[in-house]
C-alpha cells in the first residue's frame, strides 16, 4: 500500500520512464478497450489503467490484475489515435511489481525442449515479455 504522495509520484514516474509512453496524451476514447481480446478477464479496462495513471490513483493500477492479464498482443497500440502502446505500460507496471520481490526471470534455457516445442508461440513470447526483466 502506497502511503505518501511523494512515493506515489516516484513510482508513477518510474513506470512512465520505463514504458516511455505519455499517458497524459490519452484522450480516453476507449478504442484500446474495444480492441482488446481479453477485456472480459480484466478488473480494470485498458482505458481505465491510463486514466488512473493520469490521475495519480496509482494504487488502483498496482492492485489490479489487468497488467497480468494483458497478453501483449498490441491490438490496442494498433488502434490508438494517440499512438500510445498500452502493452508497454502494462509491462512497466509488471516490472515495477516484480522487481522488489526478487524478480522472476524466465529465459529459454530454463524451459525444457518439450515445453519449447509444445507451448504456443504467443504464450512463449508473452511469458518472456512478462518475466524476462
Ligand atoms: S485508444 Fe489510446 S487514446 Fe484512446 S483510451 Fe486507449 S490509450 Fe487512450
Ligand atoms: S496489448 Fe494487452 S491491453 Fe492491449 S489489446 Fe492486447 S491484451 Fe489488451
pTM of the model: 0.77
Taking only the tens place, the pLDDT of each residue in 89-111 is 999 999 888 776 555 567 778 88
Domain co-membership, 56 together with 79: yes
* CA 34 / ligand 2 centre spacing (Å): 10
Number of domains in the chain: 2
**Is the C-beta atom of 36 inside 6 A of ligand 2?**
yes
Distance (Å, rounded) from C-alpha 89 to C-alpha 109?
A: 27
Taking only the tens place, the pLDDT of each residue in 11-34 is 899 999 999 999 999 999 999 999
Domain co-membership, 73 together with 114: no
pLDDT at 122: 83
Domain co-membership, 84 together with 60: yes
Q: Locate the ligand 2 atom nearest the alpha carbon of residue 36 and give its number.
A: 5
Q: Which grid coordinates are listed for 66? A: 489487468
* CA 71 / ligand 2 centre spacing (Å): 6
Domain co-membership, 78 together with 109: no
Domain co-membership, 89 together with 109: no
Domain co-membership, 60 together with 111: no
Nearest CA to ligand 1 atom 2: 80
Q: List the CATH number of the domain containing 24.
A: 1.10.1060.10
Closest CA to 70 of 99, 100, 37, 104: 37
Q: Which grid coordinates are listed for 18? A: 520505463
Range of the domain at 126: 103-133
Domain co-membership, 58 together with 117: no
Amino acid at each position: 500500500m502506497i502511503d505518501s504522495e511523494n512515493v506515489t509520484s516516484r513510482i508513477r514516474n518510474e513506470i512512465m520512464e520505463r514504458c516511455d509512453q505519455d499517458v497524459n496524451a490519452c484522450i480516453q476514447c476507449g478504442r484500446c478497450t474495444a480492441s482488446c481480446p481479453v477485456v472480459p478477464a480484466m478488473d480494470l479496462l485498458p482505458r481505465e489503467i491510463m486514466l488512473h495513471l493520469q490521475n495519480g490513483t496509482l494504487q488502483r493500477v498496482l492492485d489490479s490484475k489487468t497488467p497480468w492479464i494483458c497478453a501483449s498482443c498490441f491490438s490496442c497500440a494498433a488502434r490508438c489515435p494517440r499512438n500510445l502502446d498500452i502493452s508497454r505500460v502494462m509491462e512497466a507496471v509488471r516490472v515495477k511489481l516484480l522487481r522488489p520481490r526478487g524478480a522472476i526471470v524466465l529465459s529459454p534455457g530454463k524451459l525444457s525442449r518439450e515445453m519449447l516445442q509444445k507451448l504456443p508461440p504467443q504464450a512463449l513470447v508473452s511469458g518472456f515479455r512478462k518475466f524476462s526483466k
